[in-house]
Amino acid sequence: MDKKNTVIGVLLLVAAMASFYFSARLAPQPPPRPTTGTTETAQGPLASNEAPVPGAAKSPADATLTAPTTPSAAPAEFTTLRNDYVEVKFTNAGGAIDSIALRKHAIARGEEARYVMNAPHAAPALSFADFPGADKDARYELVSQTASEVVYRARIGDQLEITRRYALLGAGSGDPYQIRHETTFRNLGANPLPLPRAAVNLGTAAPVNTEDYGLYLNVGYYDGEDFEHIERSKLEGGGFLSSFGIGSKVDLPYLDRPASVQWASVKNQFFAAILTPDEPGTGVRVERVKVYPMAPVEDRRAYGVTGLAFFDVKPLAANASTVWGATYYAGPKEYTRLSDTDNFKKDEDKAMQFGFFGWFAKLLVTIMNKVHGWIGGENLKWGWGWAIVITTLILKVVFVPFTIAASRSSKRMSKLMPMMTEIREKYKDQPQKAQEAMMRLYKDYKVNPLGGCIPILITIPFFIGFFSMLQSASELRYAAFLWAPDLSAPDTVARVFGLPLNIMPVLMGATMIIQMRLTPTPTTDNAQAMMFKIMPWIFTLFCYNFSCALALYSTVNGLFTIGQQLVINRLPEPALEKRPDKPAPGGMKNVTPKKKK
């Protein structure tokens, strides 16, 4: 690669990133979201939206139930249960969960109103779909209610009775964000009764704020071996690639995934609803819904996702009953919580979606939470920010031996530069011989040409792991540090000509530039040298609009590296000694004793 090609490639990369950035920032704004988080009546709060119509979940056994097919005209009635963590609003429309207010999480920074899951929604969570007389259009009877339990019941003619029981968990019997649910189907007749396939609504996930374009909205499921997630974008038609026959040109109404479902989830960036059935399901469906009906159709921030999990219900013998049970989690995406095997026994922590470098993300979030507890972060100003700083310093101290070894290798490599230049000049028309001569040179002087790359290679997985962790770490949501009011968002302090001024990424870039100047670069390739110089600028642009927690991690990492490099540069220069020549094959070693003086 010559210098010209390098510059052209960089310019194209910068142009593409700038295009992405400005297209996102200049998109139309959706209307303000409701601050109370309340939903409309169960007759369909999204009935006027312009989202695709969801597909039906039909079964040949539907005809056995003689139930009304028109929605009930009676208004929905609500019942509320609460503990210290959630306030669950139940509805008799479908005998299901209307919404869940998270009492530990604000809807917006500095506001007292709580964040509400499943509001607005396409259907009540855990309601049945396409189950005549028992779906969200049916009105269940409230049978009983206590401080932690509510029971609904519905009858479909003289054929079937359905009882739905909900109980809040916690206090030693589960996680406080969990709800235990059981549906009992009872055959009221004297003949066997086949039942439709049960399609249970997982809830609706909406963008978390007006700046959220829905990149993290998805429905996922775990089959016991692998976790798969279906992003909202997979249902969105059009786009650049559709012109080349990749993807659909029109919006898809839904996507089905037949699978053995150990659990299924619907989630946004910071919150997740996870349904874990007692017995595996048979598949999931993801649907795209417009949660803000008054927003323009083309505004992607107006759309959320909802999901259905399918379960086969065995036919009922005469006067027999069967119970379908599940645990429903509705709360923050906290790895330390979801990885607690006492309450989550089927690897529900995979819903964090850490990706390929998940091991590093899990390690980082675990250390960060431990540090936050050690320093008393709950009562400490800027507690989560200090937790990130200390976690970064711990990692840097652990990697000091690797860094010193790499620095010594880099310095020894730089001493070989004159000899490497001679070899290139000598064999400039014979690249194979030049390569062989270089390898002999490295071997003779015991120099590893990749030795100086070790710190970078070690840092990359941790950086990607930190980035993956920050995508869903609800702990950092609205956590302030220094001038940044929210570590999970850019630290915008002002706008210049409508563009955000973010300080932390600028500091990160400055530390990278200083670090590059202090670190020896063992290369004579002008193109590579140029790439090293412009990398900090590209990296700063790339991270400019990411959460400032990522920039804080990189800035602290850079400051430590600068101080470390200043110390390393003062250390004695490593010796460059040539390895003694070995005797020729088949030759004899000289064992003649030295003459005595």
Reported as a single tens digit per residue, the pLDDT across 43-63 is: 333 333 333 344 443 443 343
Cα→Cα distances 135→126, 219, 268, 494, Å = 10, 21, 25, 50
**Can you give the pLDDT at residue 309?**
94
Compute the distance between CA of residue 501 and CA of residue 102 in angstroms, rounded to an integer.
32
Q: With the CA atoms of 131, 136, 138 and 144 taken in that order, what torsion angle do they form, in degrees rounded to the nearest 10?
A: 110
- Which strand ranges, in their side-by-side order, compose the sheet holding 78-82? 78-82, 86-91, 96-106, 114-117
Q: For tokens 């920074």, what's the residue?
A: 109
Classify the phi-psi angles of 130: left when phi > 0, otherwise alpha if psi is within -120 to 50, otherwise beta: left
Whether residue 372 has pLDDT greater than 70: yes
Compute the distance between CA of residue 230 and CA of residue 238 in angstroms, rounded to an integer.
17
**Can you give the pLDDT at residue 35?**
38
78-100 average pLDDT score: 93
Per residue in 252-267, pLDDT (tens digit) is 888 899 999 999 999 9
181-208 average pLDDT score: 90
**Can you give the pLDDT at residue 277?**
95
Whether residue 246 has pLDDT greater than 70: no
Whether residue 363 has pLDDT greater than 70: yes
Whether residue 241 has pLDDT greater than 60: no
**Can you give the pLDDT at residue 494?**
82
- CB atoms under 10 Å from CB of 517, counted, come to 11
> What DSSP state is assigned to residue 27?
S
235-247 average pLDDT score: 55
Reported as a pLDDT band with limits 50, 70 and 90, residue 41 is very low
Closest of 58, 70, 198, 46 to residue 138, by C-alpha: 70
Per residue in 301-331, pLDDT (tens digit) is 888 899 999 999 888 998 899 999 999 999 9
Closest of 298, 304, 213, 299 to residue 30, by C-alpha: 299
Q: 76-353: which CATH architecture? A: Distorted Sandwich (2.70)
**Residue 530 — φ and ψ, nearest 5°?**
-65, -40
Compute the distance between CA of residue 304 and CA of residue 117 in angstroms, rounded to an integer.
12
Cα→Cα distances 412→400, 415, 434, Å = 18, 5, 20
**Can you give the pLDDT at residue 151?**
95
**Can you give the pLDDT at residue 179?**
95
Whether residue 102 has pLDDT greater than 90: yes
**Can you give the pLDDT at residue 521?**
58
Whether residue 21 has pLDDT greater than 50: no
Compute the distance between CA of residue 184 and CA of residue 182 in angstroms, rounded to an integer.
6
Per residue in 467-514, pLDDT (tens digit) is 888 777 888 888 888 888 888 878 888 887 878 788 888 888 888 888
**Residue 28 — φ and ψ, nearest 5°?**
-65, 145
**Tokens describing residue 80:** 């509320």
164-186 average pLDDT score: 91
Reported as a pLDDT band with limits 50, 70 and 90, residue 2 is very low
Instruction: Return the half-sphere exposure (C-beta side, CA atoms, 13 A cut-off) of residue 419.
Output: 15
Reported as a pLDDT band with limits 50, 70 and 90, residue 406 is confident
Residue with the bigger pLDDT between 350 and 564: it is: 350
**Can you give the pLDDT at residue 124?**
93
What distance lies between CA 250 and its chain's CA centroid?
A: 27
Whether residue 383 has pLDDT greater than 70: yes
Per residue in 327-343, pLDDT (tens digit) is 999 999 999 899 999 99
**Can you give the pLDDT at residue 22?**
41
Helix 548-569 with 400-415: angle, nearest 10 deg = 60
Contact 516, 530 (CB under 8 A): no
Q: Which of 5-9, 163-167, 549-553 has the highest mean pLDDT?
A: 163-167
pTM of the model: 0.77
Least confident stretch, 104-118, 449-463, 578-592:
578-592
Cis peptide before 52 (omega within 30 of 0): no
Q: Write down the domain spans for the chain.
A: 76-353, 374-569
Reported as a pLDDT band with limits 50, 70 and 90, residue 6 is very low
**Tokens describing residue 270:** 């910071």
